[in-house]
């Protein structure tokens, strides 16, 4: 009775049903998986073994061919030829032949011994003995073979000598008819076997080479296995077959050596091939049973817990949903749960809609579009005038806050932390400047700096400098982040702020000159450039910087030395001036490098070295290190963070028609090839494809959410030409922009 009552419980019946379905579906799947794995593994093993033996055959033919070519080269040596055709007993000729033979032997370790046989004069030059007559020659078997003319001279054969077997090769003057002069090479079998099989053979394999008669030429000899291999190979039609011995079964792959009429046999015991499969099948069955037990227990616990709580869930939902009438109150529990899920989904949709309407994201997009296009478009201008603090300002200033030692900053904080810190820098700067008579809008452009667009009613640069100095100090005190600040002159809304932005960012690099933590003005840059040497006198850094970015350290050092020759004869003042501007260009282009973050002042750096040679040596070391850093491999975490920063930089610069892989590489102080490789490795897509895809996605959003014309949207998303935009959009969506807007715009309105 108790058992029947227990079986009637919903959660237990559900548990039995789920467990039965699981067992009935998993056991056939596991059996099929095991069988397919065994089949696939055997196919892979056979394929790999055949590839191995084919490669071994190619390697063997190459080595034997090289030995033949080497023998022909040895035979053709002038000193050896002179000895063959010398009719008089000239000691110098004999000595020259011995030396030539010795030289050839020393450069080819596979040749154990060699003979120069002169049938006309009955003399032999033995590489181990010297010149001997036929009757004193130790290897009479080889002498008899040479005397009996055969057409297969340029083929290797097994030859016993000095109690050991060697491979021999006879090279006559004329292979098709008898000759009086022969070169014989005796090849060291152990050395040749080690060279051929040393990197391939293991304790689980047997590799041997048999000739056309089934005799072992290379490899260990086993008469029973040799005979079986030879007979099975003659009967088999394929290159792989099985050989059965009384207590062993071998799986054999073969390959032919066409030049020698030999066969390579690559044998593996069958139980070695199958033991890993059997082990995997046993583990699979064990883990499957364990998994079934765990999942069954989870089913039981989940069913009991969830089904017993249905009433509790429905009661809880009744308190959350307003009851309209008594009929609603009488709804079943499952209906209450359905109503609760519908309410939850509605809330999620409302939350999602509100997230898409984030004002900060819209603000950042319009400000970035303004900075990157140079002047605000109609929509951006309307947004700035109505939604930002700059609406009533008469003049605008552009400030750049660049984070010093950015590489160290990246190593200290992970990517989310860096985002938060830059967000805090923006807020602190906006609050400090907003406390005065100015309005400020901050913007994180990605990378090592932030932009502040500052609006005022008059061009009071002095007060603004004090506010920026206060913001700089507050950031250093609160966040412990050192920044360099540069501020532009006053401009109106019609100015090209793209050029101003590029110029002010470069202005922050003036800190390299003397290391002072001041606020840099445009007048500082004009004063700095006023002392720049003329084009004919200035040192050329462009090619050096290009070589560094390509990771070519030696080329960069050579170019540096060529440039340094130009200033050796200059007066001290001119020499110091040239070095100052040269070093400034170098530091400016690689300001994010960890090598340079400890250099606080170029002037102090020049004073540190007493001679030009010492400073040149320092420059060469820096150039070499910078070039090596362009391709420095990073840890996997750092690689992912760099890719996140690249994606952030791209997202912030999609409006920029000049955005390119070269620009991204320059921003991160890596070579173009490294940026491409890194992004492809992490994202499994090229950076150029990502940029294009993100631009298309932004176009799609604007087509649905705005009433701008198609060409205005294309311009705002960074497309240069109309043709490129339409072809790219068609490729990604199979629709024209107009068709996409008609289809998805209507669906967005209906929602």
393 CB contacts (<8 Å, ≥6 apart)?
439, 455, 456, 457
Say what the pLDDT of residue 326 is: 43
96-112, pLDDT tens digit by residue? 888 888 888 888 888 88
- For 302, the token pair is 């989940």
> What pLDDT was estimated at residue 392?
75
Q: What is the pLDDT of residues 134-164, one digit of tens each?
A: 888 888 888 888 888 665 567 888 888 777 7
Is there a contact between 253 and 266 (Cβ–Cβ < 8 Å)?
yes
pLDDT greater than 70 at residue 554: yes
Region for 575 from its dihedrals, namely left if φ exceeds 0, alpha if ψ lies in -120 to 50, beta otherwise: alpha
Q: Decide if pLDDT at 577 tops 80.
A: no
For 439-491, how does the pLDDT look when each residue is reduced to its tens digit (9 = 90+)? Answer: 888 888 777 888 888 888 776 677 888 888 888 888 888 888 888 898 888 88
Q: What is the pLDDT of residues 194-222, one digit of tens each?
A: 888 875 555 567 788 887 777 777 877 66
Strands 164-172 and 181-187 come out as antiparallel
Task: Name residues whose C-beta falls within 8 Å of residue 280's C-beta, 6 or more positions apart in sequence.
Answer: 34, 37
Average pLDDT over residues 636-657: 81
Beta strand 262-269 pairing with 249-257: antiparallel
**11 or 740: which carries more pLDDT confidence?**
740
590-643 pLDDT per residue, tens? 776 666 666 667 777 777 777 877 777 887 887 888 777 766 555 667 778 888
Q: Is 519 left (phi over 0), alpha (psi -120 to 50) or beta?
A: beta
**N-terminal to C-terminal alpha carbon distance within the chain:** 57
Which phi-psi region, left, alpha or beta, contains residue 20 (left: φ > 0; alpha: ψ -120 to 50)? alpha
Q: Is 393 helix (H, G, I), strand (E, B) or coil?
A: coil
Question: 């932009």: which residue's tokens?
Answer: 451
Q: Average of pLDDT values for 582-586?
A: 76
pLDDT higher than threshold 80 for residue 8: no
Pick 554 or 610 by higher pLDDT: 554
Nearest to 132 by CA among 168, 87, 179, 98: 98
Residue 599 CA, distance from chain mean position: 32
Task: Please indicate whether residue 388 or residue 486 has the higher confidence score (pLDDT).
Answer: 486
CB proximity list for 85: less than 8 A, separation 6 or greater: 181
Model confidence at 323, pLDDT cuts 50, 70, 90, reads: very low
**Rounded mean pLDDT of the chain?**
77
Reported as type and span, the H/E element at residue 545 is helix 542-549
Report pLDDT for 366.
75
Gyration radius of the chain's alpha carbons: 42
Residue 264's contacts (CB-CB under 8 Å, 6 or more residues apart) are: 53, 56, 57, 60, 207, 208, 209, 254, 255, 256, 257
- CA 131 to each of CA 50, 447, 748: distance values in angstroms, whole numbers, following the listed order: 47, 79, 100
User: For 479-512, what is each residue's pLDDT tens digit?
Assistant: 888 888 988 888 887 788 878 888 888 888 777 7
Cβ atoms 475, 425 nearer than 8 A: yes
Least reliable range by pLDDT among 11-25, 342-356, 645-659? 342-356
DSSP, res 219: S
The DSSP secondary-structure symbol of 577 reads H
């Amino acid at each position: 009775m108790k058992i029947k009552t227990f079986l009637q419980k919903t959660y237990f019946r559900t548990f039995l049903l789920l467990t039965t379905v699981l067992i009935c579906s998993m056991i056939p799947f596991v059996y099929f998986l095991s069988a397919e794995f065994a089949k696939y593994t055997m196919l892979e093993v056979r394929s790999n073994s055949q590839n191995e033996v084919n490669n071994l055959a190619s390697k063997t033919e190459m080595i034997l061919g090289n030995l033949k070519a080497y023998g022909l080269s040895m035979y053709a040596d002038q000193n050896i030829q002179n000895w063959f055709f010398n009719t008089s007993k000239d000691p110098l000729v004999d000595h020259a032949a011995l030396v030539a033979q010795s030289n050839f032997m020393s450069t080819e370790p596979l040749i154990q011994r060699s003979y120069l046989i002169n049938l006309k004069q009955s003399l032999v030059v033995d590489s181990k003995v010297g010149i001997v007559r036929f009757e004193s020659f130790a290897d009479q078997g080889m002498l008899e073979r040479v005397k009996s003319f055969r057409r297969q001279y340029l083929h290797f054969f097994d030859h016993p000598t000095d109690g050991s077997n060697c491979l021999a090769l006879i090279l006559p003057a004329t292979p098709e008819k008898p000759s009086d002069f022969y070169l014989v090479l005796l090849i060291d079998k152990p050395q040749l076997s080690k060279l051929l099989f040393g990197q391939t053979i293991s304790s689980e394999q047997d590799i041997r080479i048999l000739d056309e008669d089934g005799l072992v030429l290379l490899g260990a000899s086993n008469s029973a296995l040799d005979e079986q291999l030879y007979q099975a190979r003659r009967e088999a039609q394929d290159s792989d077959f099985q050989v059965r011995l009384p207590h062993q079964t071998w799986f054999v792959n073969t390959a032919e050596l066409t030049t020698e009429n030999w066969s390579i046999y690559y044998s593996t015991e069958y139980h070695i091939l199958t033991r890993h499969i059997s082990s995997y099948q046993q583990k699979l069955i064990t883990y499957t049973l364990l998994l079934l037990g765990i999942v069954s227990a989870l089913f039981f616990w989940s069913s009991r817990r969830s089904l017993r709580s249905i009433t509790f869930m429905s009661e809880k939902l009744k308190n959350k949903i307003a009851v309209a009438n008594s009929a609603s109150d009488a709804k079943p529990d499952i209906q209450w749960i359905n109503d609760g899920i519908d309410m939850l989904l509605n809330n999620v949709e409302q939350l999602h809609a509100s997230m898409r309407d984030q004002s900060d994201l819209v603000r950042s997009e319009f400000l970035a579009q303004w900075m990157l296009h140079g002047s605000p478009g109609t929509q951006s201008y309307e947004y700035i005038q109505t939604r930002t603090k700059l609406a009533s300002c008469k003049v605008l200033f552009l400030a750049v806050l660049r984070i010093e030692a950015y590489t160290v900053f990246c190593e200290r904080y992970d990517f989310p932390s860096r985002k938060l810190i830059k967000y805090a820098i923006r807020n602190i700067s906006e609050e400090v400047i907003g406390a005065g008579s100015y309005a400020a809008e901050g913007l994180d452009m990605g990378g090592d700096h932030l932009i502040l667009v500052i609006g005022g009613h008059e061009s009071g640069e002095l007060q603004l400098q004090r506010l920026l100095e206060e913001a700089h100090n507050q950031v250093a005190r609160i966040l412990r982040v050192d920044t360099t600040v540069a501020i532009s002159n006053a401009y109106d809304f019609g100015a090209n702020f793209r050029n101003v932005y590029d110029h002010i960012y470069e202005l922050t690099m003036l800190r390299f000159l003397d290391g002072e933590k001041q606020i840099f003005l445009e007048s500082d840059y004009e004063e700095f450039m006023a002392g720049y040497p003329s084009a004919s006198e200035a040192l050329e850094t462009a090619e050096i910087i290009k070589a560094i970015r390509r990771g070519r350290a030696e080329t960069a050092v050579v170019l540096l030395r060529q440039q340094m020759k130009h200033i050796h004869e200059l007066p001290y003042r001119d020499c110091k001036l040239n070095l100052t501007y040269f070093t400034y260009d170098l530091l400016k282009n690689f300001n994010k490098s960890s090598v340079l973050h400890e250099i606080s002042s170029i002037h102090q750096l020049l004073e540190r070295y007493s001679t030009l040679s010492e400073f040149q040596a320092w420059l060469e070391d820096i150039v070499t290190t910078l070039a090596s850093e362009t391709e420095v491999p990073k840890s996997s975490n750092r690689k992912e963070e760099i890719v996140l920063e690249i994606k952030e930089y791209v997202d912030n610069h999609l409006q920029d028609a000049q955005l390119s892989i070269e620009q991204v590489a320059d921003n991160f102080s890596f070579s173009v090839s490294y940026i491409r490789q890194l992004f492809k490795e992490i994202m499994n897509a090229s950076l150029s494809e990502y940029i294009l895809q993100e631009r298309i996605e932004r176009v799609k959003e604007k087509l649905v959410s705005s009433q701008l014309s198609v060409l205005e949207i294309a311009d705002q998303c960074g497309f240069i030409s109309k043709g490129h935009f339409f072809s790219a959009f068609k490729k990604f969506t199979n629709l024209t922009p107009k068709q996409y807007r008609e289809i998805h715009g209507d669906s967005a309105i209906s929602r």
